[in-house]
Amino acid sequence: MATRSKSTFGKSGASMLPWLGLALIIFMADQFTKVLIMGYYQLGDSTTVTSFFNIVRAHNTGAAFSFLAGAGGWQRWFFTGLGVVAALFIVYMLRSHAGQKLFSFAMACILGGAIGNVVDRLLHGYVVDFLDFHWRGMHFAAFNVADAGITIGAICLILDELLRVKRGK
């Protein structure tokens, strides 16, 4: 009988490799799209795609919704460190809960997005954003594939918790 490695199998015996694979796909999609944007767009360039969606090139030195963007530079290292700590914690959680599908899906989405944005901060000092949705002249904050992964992961994490609480009743 084959021995299971503690590095890929959690307490439940389920492998975390599929979840790390999902995180890698999100990371690669994020980085690929950012390379395209940086290759074809200058900062501030925009292309109208539909009446409610543009492709833009924006740089975010802060966090979500440009939180702390004008803080003077220290936030680059703070958010990079926070992303690294979050990634390590998520890998630990995946290892411990790989058999919980919705939870692990959520964690993998967040992991792929977090690493994508950490790489941006390390390489450029900012995160490259390019998806711009708008309605009636109001623009939602521009975001990227990593941000979408983090958002989907957060929604799934909330859903997982609501389902867990419902099962407990």
DSSP E strands, the chain: 46-50, 53-60, 127-135, 138-139
Active site residues: 129, 147
Closest CA to 147 of 64, 52, 55, 49: 64
Is the four-CA dihedral 106, 112, 116, 119 of positive or negative sign? positive
Cβ-contact 98, 91 below 8 angstroms: no
Interacting residues of 168 by C-beta distance below 8 A, sequence separation 6+: none
